[in-house]
Amino acid sequence: MVSLASAVLPILRILPPETAHALTLRGLAQGLVPAARGAPDPVLRSTLWGREFPNPIGLAAGFDKDALVPDAMLRLGFGFVEIGSVTPRPQRGNPKPRIFRLSGDGAVINRLGFNNAGLAVAAERLAARRGRGGIVGANIGKNRDTGDPYADYEECVRVMAPLADYLVVNISSPNTPGVRDLQRRQHVAILIDKLMAVRRATVAVAPPPLFVKIAPDLTEEERADLAEVAVSSGIDGLIISNTTIARPPGLRGSRVHEPGGLSGKPLFLPSTALLAEMYRRTGGRVRLIGVGGITKGADAYAKIRAGASLVQLYTGLVYQGPALIQRITDDLAVLLRRDGFDSVAAAVGSGG
């Protein structure tokens, strides 16, 4: 795995980002990247929402929008994989170019705009992998030109609830007009209530957990409101966080002022600070998944200690390739044992 990635990665970096991504998906679909070595360290295992996670390192949404390669990504060593964002109808997204590497910053700016082949395509692929094992979640969004955003999310839950191991309500993408407005208290409470009702009606026994993914650019009032709604609504968890529209000082990339969401290393500190804040605000009563800027085991460990039961990454793969997954899981196991923890669960929230 390491030697193949080492040979291919420099070539992919020369190509335009979307071309490189498409070729990566094609290679994964054809099995060109071998499986990770060995079984995960037992200290990394977790049982959450009745599901067994072999390790807490997940693939964030955005990499595999159309559920093309979830099994290939699981074989690379991820403990779970999230496909999407998926919208009810196929969507072309925003005009190209719409992805920009900031290589010197270990970052990426994207303004994709929920480009995907639509709900029916992703659902068919998830249905075809039934019985294969491994945890695969679905991230859902609304179409850009929808007249009823609530109905779009309801339709996605109705179709995906019987197929996915968990569902993520993406109301925090900065690249589709109106999406982030749904984070406001008066909207998010209604949305969660509607989606939980659809989930109950669709899967009566052991329904998939339902999460909401939030932005790192919230005001203090919005953060307080979201924490209160998360606790009172009975939602299963929050994913913290999506990309940021902020541009932290010190960025060196020549495309730093491109509109869109920033991901990668510069997102690590603000997303981890928000994670810790939401853990405090919810009193640990809502499970959290930490995303943003993870490039090594110490980063994953910091998010766990800040309150995350699981973590996710994507941009780190762009610069370090699939070998990053094994390095993170190996290093995380060492860090947990060093500090006397016999499980990931024991370390959650221990940093604050």
Name the band, by pLDDT with cuts 50, 70 and 90, for residue 4.
low
For the chain, give the percent of residues with pLDDT over 90: 92
Q: Is 309 a catalytic residue?
A: no
Any residues with CB less than 8 A from the CB of 169 and at least 6 apart, and which? 140, 153, 191, 192, 195, 210, 211, 212, 213
36-62 pLDDT, tens digit each: 878 889 999 999 999 999 999 999 999
Q: Which of 85, 172, 173, 263 is catalytic?
A: 173
What is the spatial distance between Cα 164 and Cα 250, in angstroms, rounded to a whole number? 40
Q: Which CATH class is domain 2-347?
A: alpha beta
pLDDT of residue 2: 46
- Of 203, 138, 196, nearest to 167 (Cα)? 138
Taking only the tens place, the pLDDT of each residue in 5-23 is 667 888 888 999 999 999 9
| CA-wise closest residue to 171 among 110, 214, 231 | 214
Q: How far apart are CA 229 and CA 238, in angstroms?
A: 11
- Going by DSSP bridges, is the β-strand pair 287-291/46-48 parallel, antiparallel, or unpaired? unpaired
Write out pLDDT tens, residues 112-165.
999 999 999 999 999 999 989 999 999 999 999 999 999 999 999 999 999 999
> Which among 203, 174, 190, 168 has a CA at the least distance from the CA of 287?
168
DSSP 8-state class, residue 250 = T
For the stretch 69-110, pLDDT in tens is 999 999 999 999 999 999 999 999 999 999 999 999 999 999
Show Cβ contacts of residue 197 under 8 Å, excluding neighbours closer than 6 positions.
Answer: none
